[in-house]
Amino acid sequence: MSTVSSLSPRSATSARSLASIQRRTMRVLVAAQLLGALGLAAGGAAGALLAEHLTGGATAAGLPLAVLVLGSGVGAVAATRVMDRSGRRVGLAAAHLSGALGAGTAVAAAALSDLRMLLAGCALLGGGNAAVMLARYAAADLSERRGRSMSVVVTAASVGAVAGPNLLSPAGGLARALGLPAPAGLFLVAMPAFLAAAAVLLASLRPDPLQVARQAPAAGGQAPAAGATGLAAMLRDGHLRLAVLALAVTNLTMVAVMAVAPVHLHAHGAGLGMVGLLVSVHIAAMYLPSPVTGRLADALGGGAVAGIGALLLLGAGALAAAAGPDHARVVLALLLLGVGWNAGLIGGSALLRDARVPPSLRTRAEGLGELGMGAAAAVGGGGAGPLLAAGGLGLLGLVAAAPCLLLLLVLVGNARSAGTVR
């Protein structure tokens, strides 16, 4: 007997209603992603170049992205607390507004030649990054195929994220016309992008998917853990611990290399237009494989997909270490880096969504995962500049790839103890 035929008329109607809400939710999230993701490039490619412009050297080039990803982790925790009280709509919109404020602060920093203000702006800009990243969990609230739903939202972010770096040169012209350094141009683009995304969410993300999911617990498909509350309840679940590790290592490796890749390319003869193009290729590799990795996560489990990501990131680090001034090798390393990050993100997120935590702690578990990503990436981004200055991209690639070996060992050990990669 089919699932639909076994339902009562009332439950069948409820199922149709949930499916309709899910379709509307996906449309709104995709629209917000298309807008908000335009702002992501500001803290990456533009932040590194602006820091180099303000300080006159590469040592501080990794700091803007390091601060941004740390701000993203802290912002994610704050946003998930808001979501816990007021739902996805308010939490995601507030995080986007933080991104807009951060972009404005970075523009002011460029005008005043103030590195500390730039870093403060990047910390606030992390809120916008958190909003774009947390949207994948909103997509999964009412979905039966969580991996695929998350992948759709991640893929949608690719449009803005890929277009953003390609605006580096034209936006630089706008910035110069206003008397600002050229790298400040992407921050000028980020402000209206984040504001528009917040407006879309506030106006259209109704009913709120998280609040609907809490009223219909069967939609989530997870049984709550009993008898424990708070952080202890979350960390008791092996899926959650493994998810946080996978997300953290994935982001650490990617950010460490990506934080200073624009500086390395620029130092070896690439102009702003070429740097923007190459960064956009990397970002495309970060997001576009999502339909494939999402299906794999539903079919094979998050652990298997996270393991694939770790292998790809390990290869990317090794290739970056051997690239030297060869732009083709750097681009190939960035491609592998992006695909590996995507697999690690989707796999780690699937593991987190499989965690058996109480519904009241679901958003806090998501915030913990994002905080792990932010903290680990801050370490990678903060150390990238000194490593680049000390030993070039060769040293940086080797150091950044090393944690992937640890993740692979843990994933293999977990698979053996469980008898499955799920």
Q: Using alpha carbons, select from 420, 415, 399 the residue that is nearest to residue 313.
A: 399
For 198-202, 254-258, 338-342, which range has the lowest pLDDT when averaged over its residues?
254-258
Q: Distance between CA 409 and CA 289 in Å, rounded?
A: 25
* Cα torsion through 37, 399, 307, 361, rounded to 10: -60
What is the average pLDDT across 112-128? Answer: 95
What's the domain range around 59? 18-215+229-418
In a domain, 77, yes or no: yes
In a domain, 105, yes or no: yes
For 100-109, 194-203, 250-259, which range has the lowest pLDDT when averaged over its residues?
250-259
In a domain, 121, yes or no: yes
pLDDT in tens, 353-388: 888 887 778 898 999 999 998 888 888 878 887 888
Token pair of 179, please?
A: 């008397």
In a domain, 254, yes or no: yes
Q: Using alpha carbons, select from 250, 194, 229, 247 the residue that is nearest to residue 367.
A: 247
Token pair of 319, please?
A: 């290739």
End-to-end CA distance of the chain: 28
In a domain, 26, yes or no: yes
What is the average pLDDT across 33-51? Answer: 82
Q: Is residue 223 pLDDT above 60, yes or no? A: no
pTM value is 0.80
* pLDDT value of position 390: 86
In a domain, 222, yes or no: no
CB 303 within 8 A of CB 347: yes
In a domain, 362, yes or no: yes
Peptide bond into 386 cis (omega under 30): no
* pLDDT value of position 1: 36
Structural domain tally of the chain? 1
Does 380 or 87 have the greater pLDDT score? 87
Q: Is residue 407 pLDDT above 90, yes or no? A: yes
Q: What is the CATH number of the domain that holds 233?
A: 1.20.1250.20
CB 49 within 8 A of CB 263: yes
In a domain, 3, yes or no: no
Which amino acid, 203?
A
